[in-house]
A and B are shown apart, each in its own frame.
Chain A
Amino acid sequence: MKLIGLALLSGILFGIGLALSQMTNPGKVLNFLDIAGNWDPSLIFVMLGALAVTFIFFRVILKRPAPLFDSKFYLSTKKDIDKPLIIGATIFGAGWGISGYCPGPSIAGLGLGNFEAVIMVVFIYLGFIAHRFIMNKTA
């Protein structure tokens, strides 16, 4: 129950942060990615602000043997720079540059009553399902 309440609280902070920073404004995202046009570099400050916090606190937290309310940390153990990482990130970047939405703002957009967010969430899930389908076929 505690884990669910804290996940909810973390999500609320995250949602306010996305809205305040304007990551949820697809026009602003596209202006950020448009370095050859009328470039608006604002959104790099979102990453800097977030990293200023996580860079320090993650270091401290991960020195602990375990988190406060669970028995272990759930971290990715992958290390290799493989083809799926590069191709996947390229495809994601293309989708981000076409739509102006990454996954977090698509979810947050639902709370802003934004119709585009509904389309994004539906098609993001179709992308998840297509990826799983292909993986199952080739496995």
Chain B
Amino acid sequence: MNNFTPVSAFSGGILIGLAATLLLLCNGRIAGISGIMSGLIKVERAELFWRLAFLAGIVIGAFLFQQLKPGFYQPRENFPIGLLAFGGFLVGFGTRMGNGCTSGHAVCGIARLSVRSIVATVVFMVSGFVTVYIVRHVFGVL
């Protein structure tokens, strides 16, 4: 076990939970990032601006964090771009097909005890475990 950081992880999780709570309490919307992202390329003018604001907020929040804790993040180096692009494509395709990602299903859906979200979370976690096992231990990449 290396670099175990339960306190910062839990604290960050609380902030994520508060963000989702604020969006539901005030706007009545679920903070599902993949749904909000894909909403930008739908013809729903009325929904466009809050979605843009939310996503811009995530960029600003991460930027502020970077200013407060410079050096906290060292970018990953030498990761194959083709592999990254392929992974990104699967993330986009899979989250649309499965109606959600880590935020929408694992944080918001489970809080509502949605059976769909509980099942989706178990499935994408297991799929992630198996994928990393294959990539790292069968093919020996990274």
Q: Does B associate with A?
A: yes
Residues of A within 8 A of B (CB): 2-28, 30-31, 33-55, 57-59, 61-62, 66-76, 78-81, 84-104, 106-116, 119-132
- Closest B residue by C-beta to A91: B94
Docked CA distance A5–B64 (Å):
17
The answer to whether A19 touches B66 (Cβ under 8 A) is yes
User: How many cross-chain pairs have Cβ atoms below 8 Å apart between A and B?
Assistant: 484
The answer to whether A15 touches B13 (Cβ under 8 A) is no
The answer to whether B116 touches A79 (Cβ under 8 A) is yes
The answer to whether B1 touches A101 (Cβ under 8 A) is no
The answer to whether B4 touches A88 (Cβ under 8 A) is no
Interface of B is mostly: helix
- 29 A-B contacts, Cβ less than 8 Å apart? A3-B27, A4-B50, A10-B57, A12-B61, A14-B61, A19-B73, A23-B12, A26-B76, A27-B76, A33-B132, A42-B9, A45-B6, A46-B12, A46-B13, A50-B13, A53-B14, A54-B21, A70-B26, A75-B30, A85-B120, A89-B123, A89-B124, A90-B123, A91-B93, A95-B87, A97-B128, A112-B63, A127-B90, A129-B41
Residues of B within 8 A of A (CB): 1-6, 8-31, 33-34, 37-38, 41, 49-51, 53-66, 72-73, 75-76, 79, 81, 83-99, 101-103, 105-112, 114-116, 119-121, 123-133, 135-137, 142
- Closest B residue by C-beta to A35: B129
Interface of A is mostly: helix
Inter-chain contacts of A49 with B (CB < 8 A)? 9-14, 16-17
Docked CA distance A105–B64 (Å):
15
